Amino acid sequence: MIGRIWRGWVRTADRDAYVDYIEATGMAEYRRTPGNQGAWMLTRDLDDGRTEVVTFSLWESFEAIRAFAGDHVEQAVFYPEDERYLVDRETTVSHYKVASGAAVTP
């Protein structure tokens, strides 16, 4: 399994609108791509008026990631309204081999 992580920064005043936007675009696309094993979005308000946004997704293979991201899996995927919200962003993503973990069952 492969973990994929991306980071961006928005104005804190735009945090909730951006979270809603990414939930409807990127997160929805992650989750409907075959081979995606889950996707999460994390936010953290900083002391400078910005909020850091992290997306974390799990994938069964790089082939599954390619189905989402295209041939250049190391490049971040952006959506039309990202320019409106993002004040800074990583243009690449980080991939990690999942070495350990456990699913939580209710």
Element (H, E) at 39: strand 36-45
Report the Cα 74 to chain-centroid distance in Å: 13
Listed by start position, the domains of the chain span: 2-97
Q: Could you tell me if 43 and 23 are in contact, meaning their C-beta atoms sit under 8 angstroms apart?
A: no
Q: What is the mean pLDDT of residues 53-68?
A: 96
> 2-97 in CATH: which number?
3.30.70.100
pLDDT digit string (tens) for 3-57? 999 999 999 999 999 999 999 999 999 999 999 999 999 999 999 999 999 999 9
Residue type, 73: V
pLDDT at 105 over 80: no
Lowest mean pLDDT among 57-61, 76-80, 102-106: 102-106
What is the per-residue pLDDT for 102? 72
